[in-house]
Amino acid sequence: MIPYGKHYIDEEDIQAVTAVLKSNYLTQGPMSQEFEETVAAYTGATFAVAVSNGTAALHLATLAADIGVGDSIVTSPITFVASANAGLYVGAKVLFADIDPQTVNMSAEALQNQLQKHNNVKAIIPVHFAGLPCDMESIKSLADDNNAVVIEDAAHALGGTYADGRKIGCCSNSLMTVFSFHPVKAIACGEGGMITTNDEAIYHRLLRLRGHGINKSTDSFLYTEQTDENGLFASWYYEMQELGYNYRITDIQCALGLSQFSKIELFVNRRKTLVGRYDQAFLNLDNCIPAQMSGRENSGHHVYVLRIDFDKAGLSRQQFMLSLKERGIGSQVHYIPVPMQPYYQQLGHEIKDYPNAISYYKQAITIPLYYSLKDEEQEKVIDAIKEILG
């Protein structure tokens, strides 16, 4: 079976993890700090905070930005539920801005409409779908006009660049950027996430929130008299200054992440090559187009999505997926629009309010894309799709 996505682990990765298992630190040791410094340097951000997963990163980002009850956030309807759930975790109301059908990213025009209708939007969470960067300059401009912060959901986009060539994650148009290191992402940690920022106060708060709300050595103490022990500093002393969480990442995961990160350009370039071949193969196919055609040089290429007019093709999406499976090819759908989920419908959301999202969803199908996908395997996928669509 050729899966739709797959991690790649080599002997270097295995040795890196083994070395940590033989070391004195399994968690919150030197690997964690090195991983953070590596990602910060790569993206061009000043600070980076590693956490247990991408969802935890989104949660902490909304907390650090002081989003809470009475506030609203706006995100894309075409994303994994975690992008929206981050708002609910902190008691905020979640709003959606419809997608641009050409990019599958949040439409700046739709965002503007939502901001005009709601005056309590405190955060905008654009999603770089499939690794393609959003129109960040327009989004940041709208955010500034409405006194909102921007938190980029770049779970798909590690290794990608903005139109000006800067790396996604540099936070040139946002307060924070969030990454995920789930196995099917650009690099794998098993599970893991990262938040980048250029704001020092946000950085220190993220560190506290990640570890139970307890301050770190670089923070000032609130009760300084408690730190004195007969004229000596009480080395054991710590303070829980706010309610935090245990969202720490292990050195085991970070060692794997660092080893994987040394291959990031190799991974991204291979994905670009595969995407280019897919684009060419499907360029003139009836009832079938790539979901994204712009910004190919900038994308992190997390997944490859086709839009197939199944009605015109004369078969359902499930029939299409089963036909691929019979040929040994896996596929997936990214994503069911969040407003369609029962929980969000109970909150009053209606999918009819997002016509571009529902139109995209009815046609979307994700086909195999990953670093170790062989040329002959890709040809098998292409031939199968052409055969099924006649």
Pairing between strand 176-180 and 149-153?
A: parallel
Residue 9 burial by Cβ neighbours in a 10 Å radius (0-12, 13-18, 19+)? middle
State pLDDT tens for residues 301-329.
Answer: 999 999 999 999 999 999 999 999 999 99
Count of alpha carbons within 13 angstroms of residue 332, beta-carbon side: 12
Domain 264-388, architecture per CATH: Alpha-Beta Complex (3.90)
Q: Categorize the per-residue pLDDT at 220 as very low, low, confident or very high, splitting at 50, 70 and 90.
A: confident
pLDDT for res 390: 86
Q: Measured between alpha carbons, how far is 141 from 144 in angstroms, rounded to an integer?
A: 5
**Bridging pattern class, strands 288-290 and 304-308:** antiparallel
Q: What is the mean pLDDT of residues 337-360?
A: 98
Q: Are the beta carbons of 292 and 305 closer than 8 angstroms?
A: yes
Nearest CA to 307 out of 277, 337, 268, 334 is that of 334
Cα 381 from Cα 374, distance rounded (Å): 11
Mean pLDDT of the chain: 97
Element holding 172 (H helix, E strand): none
pLDDT band for position 60 (cuts 50, 70, 90): very high
Whole-angstrom Cα distance, residue 8 to residue 369?
12
Flag whether pLDDT at 368 surpasses 70. yes
Q: Which tens digits make up the pLDDT trace of 147-204?
A: 999 999 999 999 999 999 999 999 999 999 999 999 999 999 999 999 999 999 999 9
Name beta bridge partners: 23: none
Tell me the DSSP string of 103-171: TSSBPHHHHHHHHHH-TTEEEEE-B-GGGPPP-HHHHHHHHHHTT-EEEEE-TT-TT-B-TTSPBTTS-
- Confidence check: pLDDT of 296 > 80: yes
| Buried-state track 58-86, b at ≥16 Cβ within 10 A, e below 16 | bbbbbbbbebeeebbbbbbbbbbebbbbb
Question: Which uninterrupted H or E stretch holds 254?
Answer: helix 251-261
Q: For residue 233, what is the DSSP state? A: E
Residue ranges of domains in the chain = 11-261, 264-388
Which secondary structure element, helix H or strand E, spans residue 204, and what is its range?
helix 200-210
User: Are domains 11-261 and 264-388 of this chain identical in fold?
Assistant: no
pLDDT in tens, 239-273: 999 999 999 999 999 999 999 999 999 999 999 99
DSSP string, 287-325: TEEES--S-TTT-----EEEEE-HHHHTS-HHHHHHHHH
Say if residue 217's pLDDT is above 80.
no
Hey, how many other C-beta atoms are within 10 angstroms of the C-beta on 112? 17
Q: What pLDDT score does 370 carry?
A: 98
What pLDDT does 288 receive?
97
pLDDT the model gives residue 218: 67
Q: Looking at the domain 11-261, which fold is it?
A: Aspartate Aminotransferase; domain 2 (3.40.640)
Rounded percentage of the chain residues whose pLDDT exceeds 90: 95
Q: Which amino acid is at 204?
A: H
Tokens read off for 16: 């890196």
> Tell me, what's the pLDDT at 123?
98
pLDDT (tens digit, 9 = 90+) per residue, 111-120? 999 999 999 9
Q: Which neighbouring-strand residues pair with 332? A: 366
The partner residues of 176 in beta bridges, in order of sequence, read: 151, 197
Closest CA to 188 of 128, 130, 258, 268: 258
Handedness of CA 183, 372, 321, 291 (dihedral sign): positive
Distance set, CA 328 to CA 55, 184, 235, 297 (Å): 32, 19, 60, 30
| Predicted local distance difference test score (pLDDT) of residue 258 | 98
Question: Is the model's pTM score more than 0.75?
Answer: yes
pLDDT at 163: 93
Across the range 200-223, mean pLDDT stands at: 90
Cβ atoms < 10 Å from Cβ of 374:
10
Selection from 61, 92, 98, 65 nearest residue 79 by Cα: 98
